[in-house]
Amino acid sequence: MVVENVEKVAEIVETVAETVEEVADDIADQLPQDGKLHDAVRVVESIAKQSAIDAHLVDDLIEKVEEMEEKVENLLEPVLQDQEAKKVEHEPINADK
């Protein structure tokens, strides 16, 4: 549940950051290139671009962790079933019940 929430947040952050990057680029293109406002908007654009990249990396990492979790579960399942079967075999039968 927590992983799913983090994944959703990462996707939202990525989408918002990409939109901010596009808007900042459009605004910066309309401003005089030698002004402080132009420079500030370019900084916002750069931060948004890096945020989108980072959010995408987080999303990729979560997907890889989920894949590994599934592989580990698939590897362990036969072992755990075997242990459970052995445990049931060795339990004494209680005649009082």
User: What would the pLDDT profile of 20-40 be if each residue is shown by its tens digit?
Assistant: 999 999 999 999 999 999 999
Secondary structure, 3-state, 32-64 = CCCCHHHHHHHHHHHHHHHHHHHHHHHHHHHHH
Q: What gap in Å lies between CA 57 and CA 75, rounded to an integer?
A: 27
pLDDT class of 83 with cuts at 50, 70, 90: confident
| pLDDT surpasses 60 at 71 | yes
| 10 in Cβ contact with 66 (< 8 Å) | no
Domain ranges across the chain? 2-89
Q: What gap in Å lies between CA 27 and CA 62, rounded to an integer?
A: 34
pLDDT class of 1 with cuts at 50, 70, 90: confident
